[in-house]
Amino acid sequence: MAARSKKGLIPVEPLAEFEDVGGEIAYTSYGGVRINTMGRPRIRPRVSDPGVLERICEKLIMGHGLFGILKHISFPSAKDVYKELAANPQGDFARGIAYARELAHTAIMDHCMDLAEQITEDNYNSVKAKLDWYKWHQARLHPTMYGDKVMHDITTRNARPVELTKDEFTDIAYRIVDEV
């Protein structure tokens, strides 16, 4: 088969799964030739289709990354999902994704606990490396929950230094020395 372009005819292979769609054959893009998809049904679901959010959230909770999930043809394209997230950051879709990611942190820590229980003398180093990576990853994504260090910033209002006379200061110094 061939397709016409400015350079003449370019060989194009038909897609096996799209052959004879609406009496025409769908072609791949080869050499910059546009895909002929006349009459072809939509393959990927839309973000707004029922059940899509639930299936994405299930995969997120199991620890899969969003971009990796969206590579599969049974999910919407990454472009559509990220467009929806950018268009409606406070919408149901964005809140569902955010909540699933929070639950994924708990699932990852459960997985770490399972890994820790499986440590033997033979696999100690590899399991320790995995656990260290999970701890580092969790501390960066959820520093309030899994972070290493908590810093407190204590400020007072209208703070002013205590003013002591020389005699008061001497009395306090002698009391401290006597206690030691």
In degrees, to the nearest 5, what angle opens at C-alpha 120 toward C-alphas 119 and 121?
Answer: 130
CA dist 3 and 177 (Å) reads: 97
- With a threshold of 0.85, does the pTM exceed it? no
Give the pLDDT confidence of 44-103 residue by residue, as tens digits.
888 988 999 999 999 999 888 899 999 988 899 999 999 999 999 999 999 999 999 888
Closest CA to 136 of 159, 118, 157, 112: 112
Q: Which amino acid is at 79?
A: K
Contact 10, 30 (CB under 8 A): yes
Distance of alpha carbon 96 from alpha carbon 72, whole angstroms: 20
Q: Are 28 and 35 in contact (CB under 8 A)?
A: yes
> What is the residue type of 32?
G
Q: Which domains does the chain have, with CATH numbers?
A: 1-41 (no CATH), 52-145 (1.10.10.60)
